[in-house]
Amino acid sequence: MTARSPFARHGLLVRWLRGAWLGWVALVLLLLVMTQVVKPRVGEFMDYWYSVPADSAFVEQAAALRQTREQQAIQSAWITGAAPVALLFLMQLLVAVFARGEELDEEDGEEEAIVVIQPEPVVKKPNPADRTVIRQSVQPTVSPPVAPVASSVPADDSLQLSLEGDGALYIGQGGRYRIDRLLASGGMGSVHKAYDKTLQRDVAIKELDVSLAQDQEQSDRFRQEALALAGLAHPHIVPVYDLVEDNQRFWIVMELLSGGDLEDRIEKNPPTVKVATNIIRAVAEGLAFAHNKGIVHRDIKPMNILFNVDGIPKLVDFGIAKLVQSQQSVVHTREGLSLGSPTYMSPEQVKGKKDIDKRADIYALGVTFYKMLVGEAPFTGDAEEVMRQHMFETPVSPRVSNHAVSLELEAIVIKMLAKNPADRHQSLEEFISALDAIKNT
Protein backbone atom coordinates (compact mmCIF):
# COMPACT_ATOMS: atom_id res chain seq x y z
CA MET A 1 0.00 0.00 0.00
CA THR A 2 1.40 3.43 -0.95
CA ALA A 3 1.86 6.14 1.66
CA ARG A 4 -0.90 8.77 1.59
CA SER A 5 0.05 12.43 1.23
CA PRO A 6 -0.71 14.61 4.28
CA PHE A 7 -2.52 17.05 1.96
CA ALA A 8 -4.92 14.28 0.89
CA ARG A 9 -6.34 14.14 4.42
CA HIS A 10 -7.99 17.56 3.97
CA GLY A 11 -11.63 17.56 2.86
CA LEU A 12 -13.09 19.11 -0.28
CA LEU A 13 -14.03 22.42 1.40
CA VAL A 14 -10.57 22.98 2.89
CA ARG A 15 -8.91 22.12 -0.41
CA TRP A 16 -11.11 24.62 -2.24
CA LEU A 17 -10.59 27.44 0.28
CA ARG A 18 -6.82 27.01 0.17
CA GLY A 19 -6.62 26.62 -3.60
CA ALA A 20 -8.90 29.54 -4.61
CA TRP A 21 -6.29 32.23 -3.83
CA LEU A 22 -6.67 33.84 -7.22
CA GLY A 23 -10.38 34.32 -6.65
CA TRP A 24 -9.76 35.99 -3.26
CA VAL A 25 -7.26 38.37 -4.86
CA ALA A 26 -9.76 39.24 -7.61
CA LEU A 27 -12.51 39.81 -5.03
CA VAL A 28 -10.35 42.25 -3.06
CA LEU A 29 -9.45 44.10 -6.27
CA LEU A 30 -13.12 44.28 -7.26
CA LEU A 31 -14.06 45.83 -3.90
CA LEU A 32 -11.28 48.42 -4.22
CA VAL A 33 -12.18 49.36 -7.80
CA MET A 34 -15.90 49.64 -7.08
CA THR A 35 -15.50 51.77 -3.94
CA GLN A 36 -12.55 53.92 -4.99
CA VAL A 37 -13.07 54.31 -8.75
CA VAL A 38 -16.44 53.25 -10.20
CA LYS A 39 -18.83 54.71 -7.61
CA PRO A 40 -17.20 58.19 -7.49
CA ARG A 41 -16.95 58.35 -11.30
CA VAL A 42 -20.60 57.36 -11.75
CA GLY A 43 -21.62 60.01 -9.24
CA GLU A 44 -19.66 62.69 -11.08
CA PHE A 45 -21.17 61.65 -14.41
CA MET A 46 -24.73 61.69 -13.04
CA ASP A 47 -24.16 65.11 -11.44
CA TYR A 48 -23.13 66.43 -14.84
CA TRP A 49 -25.80 64.66 -16.90
CA TYR A 50 -28.82 65.46 -14.73
CA SER A 51 -27.87 68.92 -13.61
CA VAL A 52 -30.58 71.52 -13.96
CA PRO A 53 -30.70 75.18 -12.88
CA ALA A 54 -31.51 75.67 -9.21
CA ASP A 55 -34.60 77.70 -10.05
CA SER A 56 -35.93 75.08 -12.48
CA ALA A 57 -39.29 73.43 -11.80
CA PHE A 58 -37.73 70.04 -12.51
CA VAL A 59 -35.11 70.04 -9.72
CA GLU A 60 -36.83 67.34 -7.69
CA GLN A 61 -37.63 65.24 -10.78
CA ALA A 62 -34.04 65.46 -12.00
CA ALA A 63 -32.71 64.49 -8.56
CA ALA A 64 -35.00 61.47 -8.38
CA LEU A 65 -34.11 60.36 -11.91
CA ARG A 66 -30.39 60.86 -11.18
CA GLN A 67 -30.59 58.68 -8.08
CA THR A 68 -32.41 55.92 -9.97
CA ARG A 69 -29.98 55.92 -12.91
CA GLU A 70 -26.97 56.02 -10.56
CA GLN A 71 -28.22 52.95 -8.68
CA GLN A 72 -28.84 51.12 -11.95
CA ALA A 73 -25.35 51.96 -13.25
CA ILE A 74 -23.63 50.83 -10.04
CA GLN A 75 -25.65 47.61 -9.97
CA SER A 76 -24.65 46.88 -13.56
CA ALA A 77 -21.00 47.52 -12.69
CA TRP A 78 -21.21 45.14 -9.72
CA ILE A 79 -22.74 42.41 -11.88
CA THR A 80 -20.13 42.91 -14.60
CA GLY A 81 -17.26 42.75 -12.12
CA ALA A 82 -18.63 39.95 -9.97
CA ALA A 83 -19.20 37.56 -12.90
CA PRO A 84 -15.50 36.78 -13.60
CA VAL A 85 -14.74 36.55 -9.86
CA ALA A 86 -17.51 34.01 -9.43
CA LEU A 87 -16.18 32.12 -12.45
CA LEU A 88 -12.72 31.91 -10.84
CA PHE A 89 -14.19 30.44 -7.65
CA LEU A 90 -16.27 27.96 -9.66
CA MET A 91 -13.28 26.81 -11.71
CA GLN A 92 -11.25 26.21 -8.55
CA LEU A 93 -14.14 24.30 -7.04
CA LEU A 94 -14.22 22.02 -10.09
CA VAL A 95 -10.47 21.47 -9.79
CA ALA A 96 -10.89 20.54 -6.14
CA VAL A 97 -13.72 18.12 -6.96
CA PHE A 98 -11.70 16.35 -9.65
CA ALA A 99 -8.63 16.14 -7.41
CA ARG A 100 -10.66 14.69 -4.57
CA GLY A 101 -12.21 12.15 -6.95
CA GLU A 102 -8.78 10.95 -8.03
CA GLU A 103 -7.80 10.43 -4.39
CA LEU A 104 -10.91 8.37 -3.75
CA ASP A 105 -10.16 6.24 -6.81
CA GLU A 106 -6.63 5.66 -5.47
CA GLU A 107 -8.04 4.58 -2.11
CA ASP A 108 -10.44 2.17 -3.80
CA GLY A 109 -7.55 0.68 -5.78
CA GLU A 110 -5.57 0.09 -2.62
CA GLU A 111 -8.49 -1.73 -1.01
CA GLU A 112 -8.98 -3.93 -4.08
CA ALA A 113 -5.29 -4.93 -3.94
CA ILE A 114 -5.89 -6.79 -0.65
CA VAL A 115 -6.75 -10.40 -1.57
CA VAL A 116 -8.67 -12.42 0.99
CA ILE A 117 -8.18 -16.20 0.63
CA GLN A 118 -11.12 -18.17 1.95
CA PRO A 119 -11.41 -21.96 2.13
CA GLU A 120 -13.12 -23.51 -0.85
CA PRO A 121 -16.60 -24.68 0.11
CA VAL A 122 -17.39 -28.39 -0.10
CA VAL A 123 -20.02 -29.06 -2.73
CA LYS A 124 -22.32 -31.96 -1.92
CA LYS A 125 -23.39 -34.10 -4.88
CA PRO A 126 -27.17 -33.97 -5.18
CA ASN A 127 -29.17 -37.17 -5.22
CA PRO A 128 -31.93 -37.89 -7.77
CA ALA A 129 -34.59 -36.52 -5.46
CA ASP A 130 -32.69 -33.30 -5.18
CA ARG A 131 -32.42 -33.06 -8.96
CA THR A 132 -36.16 -33.53 -9.33
CA VAL A 133 -36.83 -30.75 -6.89
CA ILE A 134 -34.42 -28.52 -8.75
CA ARG A 135 -36.04 -29.22 -12.10
CA GLN A 136 -39.45 -28.51 -10.66
CA SER A 137 -38.29 -25.29 -9.08
CA VAL A 138 -37.11 -23.87 -12.39
CA GLN A 139 -40.23 -24.74 -14.39
CA PRO A 140 -41.56 -21.51 -15.86
CA THR A 141 -44.77 -20.19 -14.43
CA VAL A 142 -47.13 -18.91 -17.09
CA SER A 143 -49.39 -16.14 -15.91
CA PRO A 144 -52.72 -15.48 -17.59
CA PRO A 145 -52.69 -12.56 -20.02
CA VAL A 146 -53.55 -9.22 -18.47
CA ALA A 147 -56.09 -7.11 -20.32
CA PRO A 148 -54.91 -3.60 -21.12
CA VAL A 149 -56.13 -0.94 -18.68
CA ALA A 150 -57.93 1.96 -20.33
CA SER A 151 -56.68 5.43 -19.36
CA SER A 152 -58.91 7.26 -16.94
CA VAL A 153 -57.98 10.56 -18.62
CA PRO A 154 -59.73 11.04 -21.97
CA ALA A 155 -57.50 12.11 -24.84
CA ASP A 156 -57.91 15.77 -25.69
CA ASP A 157 -56.71 16.76 -29.11
CA SER A 158 -58.49 20.10 -29.14
CA LEU A 159 -55.19 21.95 -28.88
CA GLN A 160 -52.48 20.04 -30.63
CA LEU A 161 -49.61 20.47 -33.02
CA SER A 162 -49.75 18.21 -36.03
CA LEU A 163 -47.91 17.68 -39.27
CA GLU A 164 -50.11 16.55 -42.15
CA GLY A 165 -48.92 15.08 -45.38
CA ASP A 166 -48.29 18.50 -46.95
CA GLY A 167 -45.57 19.25 -44.40
CA ALA A 168 -47.28 22.42 -43.10
CA LEU A 169 -47.66 23.17 -39.40
CA TYR A 170 -51.20 23.04 -38.01
CA ILE A 171 -52.42 24.34 -34.65
CA GLY A 172 -55.76 24.70 -32.90
CA GLN A 173 -58.63 22.34 -32.36
CA GLY A 174 -58.46 19.65 -34.98
CA GLY A 175 -55.58 21.44 -36.70
CA ARG A 176 -57.87 24.32 -37.66
CA TYR A 177 -55.11 26.82 -38.53
CA ARG A 178 -52.40 26.13 -41.07
CA ILE A 179 -49.29 28.30 -40.64
CA ASP A 180 -48.01 29.29 -44.08
CA ARG A 181 -45.10 31.70 -43.73
CA LEU A 182 -43.32 34.13 -41.43
CA LEU A 183 -44.32 37.79 -41.72
CA ALA A 184 -42.23 39.42 -39.00
CA SER A 185 -40.29 38.55 -35.87
CA GLY A 186 -38.94 40.39 -32.87
CA GLY A 187 -37.75 39.98 -29.31
CA MET A 188 -41.17 38.94 -28.01
CA GLY A 189 -42.11 36.49 -30.74
CA SER A 190 -43.17 36.28 -34.37
CA VAL A 191 -46.16 36.88 -36.62
CA HIS A 192 -47.15 34.38 -39.31
CA LYS A 193 -49.56 34.39 -42.19
CA ALA A 194 -51.94 31.45 -41.72
CA TYR A 195 -55.14 29.95 -43.11
CA ASP A 196 -58.32 29.21 -41.17
CA LYS A 197 -59.65 25.96 -42.62
CA THR A 198 -63.01 26.28 -40.88
CA LEU A 199 -63.93 29.77 -42.11
CA GLN A 200 -61.72 29.50 -45.21
CA ARG A 201 -59.91 32.80 -44.84
CA ASP A 202 -56.38 34.11 -44.36
CA VAL A 203 -55.47 35.20 -40.83
CA ALA A 204 -52.45 36.44 -38.91
CA ILE A 205 -51.12 34.37 -36.02
CA LYS A 206 -48.91 35.96 -33.40
CA GLU A 207 -46.75 33.44 -31.50
CA LEU A 208 -45.04 34.15 -28.18
CA ASP A 209 -41.35 33.23 -28.28
CA VAL A 210 -40.81 29.73 -26.87
CA SER A 211 -38.21 30.93 -24.37
CA LEU A 212 -40.55 33.64 -23.06
CA ALA A 213 -43.51 31.26 -22.90
CA GLN A 214 -41.82 29.52 -19.97
CA ASP A 215 -41.97 32.78 -17.99
CA GLN A 216 -45.25 33.18 -16.12
CA GLU A 217 -45.31 36.97 -16.40
CA GLN A 218 -44.66 36.93 -20.15
CA SER A 219 -47.32 34.28 -20.82
CA ASP A 220 -49.82 36.21 -18.68
CA ARG A 221 -48.97 39.34 -20.64
CA PHE A 222 -49.64 37.48 -23.88
CA ARG A 223 -53.04 36.29 -22.62
CA GLN A 224 -53.77 39.84 -21.48
CA GLU A 225 -53.27 41.13 -25.00
CA ALA A 226 -55.73 38.58 -26.38
CA LEU A 227 -58.32 39.32 -23.69
CA ALA A 228 -57.95 43.08 -24.09
CA LEU A 229 -58.38 42.93 -27.86
CA ALA A 230 -61.25 40.44 -27.64
CA GLY A 231 -63.34 43.05 -25.81
CA LEU A 232 -62.57 45.86 -28.27
CA ALA A 233 -64.76 45.61 -31.34
CA HIS A 234 -63.91 48.77 -33.28
CA PRO A 235 -63.09 49.46 -36.96
CA HIS A 236 -59.69 50.90 -36.01
CA ILE A 237 -58.59 48.16 -33.59
CA VAL A 238 -57.40 44.81 -34.93
CA PRO A 239 -59.94 42.09 -34.05
CA VAL A 240 -58.88 38.89 -32.29
CA TYR A 241 -60.46 35.64 -33.46
CA ASP A 242 -58.93 33.02 -31.19
CA LEU A 243 -56.36 32.25 -28.48
CA VAL A 244 -54.54 28.91 -28.80
CA GLU A 245 -52.53 27.37 -25.95
CA ASP A 246 -50.78 24.03 -26.10
CA ASN A 247 -47.84 22.55 -24.23
CA GLN A 248 -46.53 25.91 -22.98
CA ARG A 249 -46.87 27.52 -26.40
CA PHE A 250 -49.20 30.44 -27.14
CA TRP A 251 -50.74 31.89 -30.29
CA ILE A 252 -53.16 34.78 -30.92
CA VAL A 253 -55.24 34.50 -34.09
CA MET A 254 -56.27 37.87 -35.50
CA GLU A 255 -57.16 39.70 -38.70
CA LEU A 256 -54.46 39.68 -41.37
CA LEU A 257 -53.35 43.28 -42.02
CA SER A 258 -51.40 43.21 -45.26
CA GLY A 259 -51.03 46.96 -45.85
CA GLY A 260 -47.85 47.44 -43.79
CA ASP A 261 -47.31 49.65 -40.75
CA LEU A 262 -47.21 53.42 -40.30
CA GLU A 263 -43.47 53.42 -39.56
CA ASP A 264 -42.77 51.97 -42.99
CA ARG A 265 -45.05 54.50 -44.68
CA ILE A 266 -43.37 57.44 -42.96
CA GLU A 267 -39.93 56.25 -44.09
CA LYS A 268 -40.84 55.41 -47.68
CA ASN A 269 -43.55 57.95 -48.52
CA PRO A 270 -44.17 60.59 -45.81
CA PRO A 271 -47.87 61.49 -45.74
CA THR A 272 -49.16 64.97 -46.47
CA VAL A 273 -50.60 67.05 -43.66
CA LYS A 274 -54.12 66.12 -44.71
CA VAL A 275 -53.38 62.38 -44.91
CA ALA A 276 -51.50 62.46 -41.60
CA THR A 277 -54.42 64.23 -39.94
CA ASN A 278 -56.92 61.67 -41.27
CA ILE A 279 -54.78 58.74 -40.10
CA ILE A 280 -54.22 60.16 -36.62
CA ARG A 281 -57.92 60.96 -36.26
CA ALA A 282 -58.91 57.40 -37.17
CA VAL A 283 -56.41 55.93 -34.70
CA ALA A 284 -57.63 58.37 -32.05
CA GLU A 285 -61.17 57.08 -32.51
CA GLY A 286 -60.07 53.50 -31.89
CA LEU A 287 -57.91 54.49 -28.95
CA ALA A 288 -60.74 56.56 -27.45
CA PHE A 289 -62.93 53.45 -27.66
CA ALA A 290 -60.31 51.50 -25.71
CA HIS A 291 -60.06 54.28 -23.12
CA ASN A 292 -63.82 54.24 -22.64
CA LYS A 293 -63.54 50.50 -21.99
CA GLY A 294 -61.01 51.24 -19.23
CA ILE A 295 -57.89 50.22 -21.17
CA VAL A 296 -54.71 52.31 -21.52
CA HIS A 297 -52.47 51.08 -24.33
CA ARG A 298 -49.12 52.46 -23.03
CA ASP A 299 -47.17 51.63 -26.21
CA ILE A 300 -48.58 53.83 -28.97
CA LYS A 301 -46.09 54.17 -31.85
CA PRO A 302 -46.10 53.95 -35.67
CA MET A 303 -45.03 50.29 -35.64
CA ASN A 304 -48.21 49.45 -33.72
CA ILE A 305 -50.46 51.11 -36.30
CA LEU A 306 -51.07 48.74 -39.22
CA PHE A 307 -53.18 49.04 -42.38
CA ASN A 308 -55.46 46.51 -44.02
CA VAL A 309 -55.65 45.94 -47.74
CA ASP A 310 -58.06 48.90 -48.09
CA GLY A 311 -55.68 51.29 -46.30
CA ILE A 312 -57.71 51.51 -43.08
CA PRO A 313 -55.42 52.04 -40.06
CA LYS A 314 -55.83 49.73 -37.07
CA LEU A 315 -54.20 49.76 -33.65
CA VAL A 316 -52.38 46.58 -32.55
CA ASP A 317 -50.17 45.22 -29.75
CA PHE A 318 -51.94 45.64 -26.41
CA GLY A 319 -49.23 43.57 -24.71
CA ILE A 320 -48.51 46.09 -21.93
CA ALA A 321 -52.00 47.58 -21.77
CA LYS A 322 -53.34 48.56 -18.37
CA LEU A 323 -56.86 47.92 -17.10
CA VAL A 324 -57.67 51.23 -15.43
CA GLN A 325 -60.90 50.22 -13.74
CA SER A 326 -59.31 47.30 -11.89
CA GLN A 327 -55.85 48.94 -11.70
CA GLN A 328 -54.39 45.67 -12.97
CA SER A 329 -51.64 45.10 -15.47
CA VAL A 330 -50.00 41.88 -16.56
CA VAL A 331 -46.60 43.59 -16.37
CA HIS A 332 -46.10 44.11 -12.64
CA THR A 333 -45.17 47.78 -12.47
CA ARG A 334 -43.42 49.39 -9.54
CA GLU A 335 -42.26 52.95 -8.85
CA GLY A 336 -39.17 53.67 -10.94
CA LEU A 337 -39.84 51.02 -13.61
CA SER A 338 -40.39 52.48 -17.08
CA LEU A 339 -42.61 50.65 -19.57
CA GLY A 340 -42.96 51.48 -23.24
CA SER A 341 -40.79 52.52 -26.18
CA PRO A 342 -38.38 55.35 -25.19
CA THR A 343 -39.03 57.48 -28.29
CA TYR A 344 -42.78 57.59 -27.56
CA MET A 345 -42.86 57.46 -23.75
CA SER A 346 -44.56 60.22 -21.82
CA PRO A 347 -42.63 62.00 -19.05
CA GLU A 348 -44.65 60.19 -16.41
CA GLN A 349 -43.73 56.85 -17.97
CA VAL A 350 -40.06 57.87 -17.98
CA LYS A 351 -40.34 58.54 -14.25
CA GLY A 352 -41.81 55.07 -13.78
CA LYS A 353 -45.04 56.34 -12.23
CA LYS A 354 -47.61 53.69 -11.45
CA ASP A 355 -50.69 55.88 -11.95
CA ILE A 356 -50.42 56.04 -15.74
CA ASP A 357 -53.68 57.07 -17.37
CA LYS A 358 -55.03 57.76 -20.87
CA ARG A 359 -53.13 61.07 -21.11
CA ALA A 360 -49.91 59.06 -21.53
CA ASP A 361 -51.45 57.57 -24.70
CA ILE A 362 -52.34 61.10 -25.86
CA TYR A 363 -48.69 62.12 -25.46
CA ALA A 364 -47.46 59.08 -27.44
CA LEU A 365 -50.06 59.78 -30.12
CA GLY A 366 -48.72 63.34 -30.26
CA VAL A 367 -45.18 62.03 -30.82
CA THR A 368 -46.53 59.81 -33.61
CA PHE A 369 -48.43 62.74 -35.16
CA TYR A 370 -45.30 64.90 -34.96
CA LYS A 371 -43.26 62.23 -36.73
CA MET A 372 -45.82 61.99 -39.55
CA LEU A 373 -45.73 65.75 -40.05
CA VAL A 374 -41.97 66.26 -39.75
CA GLY A 375 -40.48 62.91 -40.77
CA GLU A 376 -38.75 62.27 -37.44
CA ALA A 377 -39.66 62.18 -33.75
CA PRO A 378 -39.36 65.36 -31.68
CA PHE A 379 -36.60 63.85 -29.55
CA THR A 380 -33.76 61.71 -30.92
CA GLY A 381 -30.60 60.03 -29.62
CA ASP A 382 -29.92 56.98 -27.49
CA ALA A 383 -32.53 55.75 -25.02
CA GLU A 384 -31.17 57.66 -22.01
CA GLU A 385 -30.87 60.92 -23.95
CA VAL A 386 -34.36 60.62 -25.43
CA MET A 387 -35.93 59.97 -22.03
CA ARG A 388 -34.10 62.96 -20.57
CA GLN A 389 -35.43 65.16 -23.38
CA HIS A 390 -38.97 63.91 -22.76
CA MET A 391 -38.69 65.27 -19.24
CA PHE A 392 -36.80 68.53 -19.71
CA GLU A 393 -36.62 69.65 -23.36
CA THR A 394 -39.19 71.54 -25.41
CA PRO A 395 -39.86 70.07 -28.89
CA VAL A 396 -39.04 72.15 -31.97
CA SER A 397 -42.14 73.45 -33.67
CA PRO A 398 -43.24 71.14 -36.52
CA ARG A 399 -43.66 74.26 -38.68
CA VAL A 400 -39.88 74.67 -38.74
CA SER A 401 -39.53 71.52 -40.87
CA ASN A 402 -42.94 71.51 -42.54
CA HIS A 403 -44.36 74.89 -43.52
CA ALA A 404 -47.62 73.24 -44.58
CA VAL A 405 -48.51 72.78 -40.90
CA SER A 406 -50.91 75.52 -39.89
CA LEU A 407 -50.60 77.51 -36.67
CA GLU A 408 -53.77 75.89 -35.36
CA LEU A 409 -52.49 72.37 -36.04
CA GLU A 410 -49.13 73.25 -34.52
CA ALA A 411 -50.89 74.34 -31.32
CA ILE A 412 -52.75 71.02 -31.15
CA VAL A 413 -49.57 68.96 -31.55
CA ILE A 414 -47.63 71.02 -28.98
CA LYS A 415 -50.51 70.64 -26.51
CA MET A 416 -50.42 66.85 -26.95
CA LEU A 417 -46.70 66.96 -26.07
CA ALA A 418 -47.08 68.97 -22.86
CA LYS A 419 -44.83 67.73 -20.02
CA ASN A 420 -47.62 68.01 -17.46
CA PRO A 421 -50.55 65.67 -18.18
CA ALA A 422 -52.94 68.37 -16.94
CA ASP A 423 -51.80 70.66 -19.77
CA ARG A 424 -52.65 68.15 -22.53
CA HIS A 425 -56.00 67.29 -24.02
CA GLN A 426 -57.80 65.48 -21.23
CA SER A 427 -59.45 63.01 -23.56
CA LEU A 428 -59.17 61.91 -27.16
CA GLU A 429 -62.70 63.15 -27.78
CA GLU A 430 -61.39 66.63 -26.92
CA PHE A 431 -58.48 66.11 -29.31
CA ILE A 432 -60.77 64.95 -32.13
CA SER A 433 -63.02 67.96 -31.60
CA ALA A 434 -60.00 70.25 -31.91
CA LEU A 435 -59.02 68.58 -35.21
CA ASP A 436 -62.56 68.88 -36.57
CA ALA A 437 -62.65 72.52 -35.60
CA ILE A 438 -59.65 73.20 -37.83
CA LYS A 439 -61.32 71.47 -40.80
CA ASN A 440 -64.44 73.55 -40.38
CA THR A 441 -62.56 76.85 -40.38
Work out the angle between the directed axes of helices 39-49 and 59-112 (0-180°, nearest 10).
Answer: 150
Q: Can you name the residues that pair with 170 across neighbouring β-strands?
A: 162, 178
Based on the residue annotation, tell me whether 299 is a catalytic residue of this protein: yes
In sequence order, the 6+-apart residues with CB closer than 8 A to the CB of 434 are 412, 425
Name which of 436, 437, 415, 319 is nearest 369 in CA terms: 415
Q: Which of 209, 242, 261, 299 is catalytic?
A: 299
Residues with catalytic annotation?
299
